[in-house]
Amino acid sequence: MHCEPPLLAVCGTRPEVVKMAPVIRALRARGQAVLLVMTGQHPDLAPQMLRELGLSADIDLGAHQAGAPPAQIMASILMRLAPVFAAWQPRLALVQGDTVSALAGALAAAYARVPVAHVEAGLRTHDMAEPFPEEMHRAMIVPATALHFAPTETAAQALMREGVAAARIHITGNSGIDALHATADRLDADPELSEELTVRHPYVVRPRYPLLLATIHRRENIGRRLGAIAAALARLAAFCEAEIVLPLHPNPAVQAVLRDKLDGLDAVHLIPPVDHMTMVWMMRQARLLVTDSGGLQEEAPGLGLRTLVLRQATERPEALAAGASELVELQADSIVSAVRRTLLRGPMHPVFPFGDGRAGERIADVLETWLADASAVGRMAEVGG
């Protein structure tokens, strides 16, 4: 039985669950009491991921509001988090990444004078519009944070340029790579899982043309950019240059454009959102990934999968430097040309610019030492420098 107050891990979206799970497991394995607080930001996708990873929410805030703007979602989460912090008096709050839930968790902790540990700290594009509002969230989380867990040296340097003391920054690798290794190991250990996925998605293992896996969901791509992306995919499919598998994001604005341009094309498979295991399995089969996702930019290099990034800028330049990914101009002709050019290239050997799969252990090691230090009490005074 734990006598000390717990740690609170605040999550709201599917990627947060994927990347926080290795940290929670590592902390619990060390005997730390960790309460997982789910905000409800992704009410369908996040619970699906919890089930897949064998986790459950200790507290579910139910703050989802369909179609609400970020400010309204933020207010809803903050109002529900305040009494949670008051009731539990946690020793530390953990937040991950750059979502509304992450910023709300950091702010609620700061208001309650609870230290914050930020997992995946220091990612920057240096353009507040790319991605929006995530780049802004990252900057706003910094002043509330006591411990910054940077996935790479580049991320750590970005924090130091912003004035964060080096002693507060710990380079750990990205915990998403921990999750990737765990999922790949499960697939390798149980051939029946791959067999089940093959039955469910036969077009993935027996494509008629080079298999292109696509995901599109970014807020800043909705509008003209999304139309250009869809037009490019339609052209590639119509001329039988690629077999395209596209799990659809739940956002109706995204679905409407993609269905309008791609429904009915024989070489396009528009499918519901898939779980992490299915996505990793699909990436293993694919010749090329075309995406605006941040997490997939991290995972694909380790699977030897070349990636075309549908963004104006990326906060993950390490994959670009490794030759594993390429930023593509968001015009239909440019996207088509990039796909054709990349499909002509030979196989890519796996590379791991984002870590070795032990980030969760490193984060837990740092936190265990920090929490055991008697001076950790009252450390809110240190936050922000």
Tell me the three state secondary structure of residue 116.
Answer: strand
The residue count for the chain: 385
Spot the catalytic one: 16, 52, 120, 292: 120
* CA–CA distance, 228 with 221 (Å, rounded to integer): 10
Active site residue 219: yes
Active site residue 217: yes
Exposed, middle or buried: residue 126 (CB in 10 Å: 0-12, 13-18, 19+)? exposed
* CA–CA distance, 281 with 198 (Å, rounded to integer): 10
Spot the catalytic one: 137, 181, 225, 249: 249
Tokens 């040296």, residue? 153
Answer for the pair 263, 239: CB distance below 8 angstroms, yes or no: no
Answer for the pair 248, 273: CB distance below 8 angstroms, yes or no: yes
Spot the catalytic one: 30, 64, 217, 284: 217
Q: Look up residue 357 and give its DSSP letter.
A: S
* CA–CA distance, 297 with 227 (Å, rounded to integer): 22
Nearest residue to 357 via CA among 171, 186, 177: 177
181: its two tokens: 């290794």
Answer for the pair 48, 275: CB distance below 8 angstroms, yes or no: yes
Active site residue 148: no
Spot the catalytic one: 16, 52, 134, 298: 134
Active site residue 276: no
Q: Look up residue 166 and give its DSSP letter.
A: G
Spot the catalytic one: 52, 98, 292, 318: 98
CA dihedral defined by 189, 291, 19, 129, rounded to 10 degrees?
180
Active site residue 356: no
The CA distances from residue 141 to 42, 108, 168, 209, 264, in Å, are: 20, 11, 14, 45, 44
Answer for the pair 88, 355: CB distance below 8 angstroms, yes or no: no
Residue 39: alpha-carbon gap to chain centroid? 16
* CA–CA distance, 289 with 357 (Å, rounded to integer): 21
Per the omega criterion (within 30 degrees of 0), is the bond before 131 cis? yes
* CA–CA distance, 13 with 105 (Å, rounded to integer): 13
Active site residue 124: no
Indicate which residues carry an active-site annotation: 98, 120, 134, 217, 219, 249
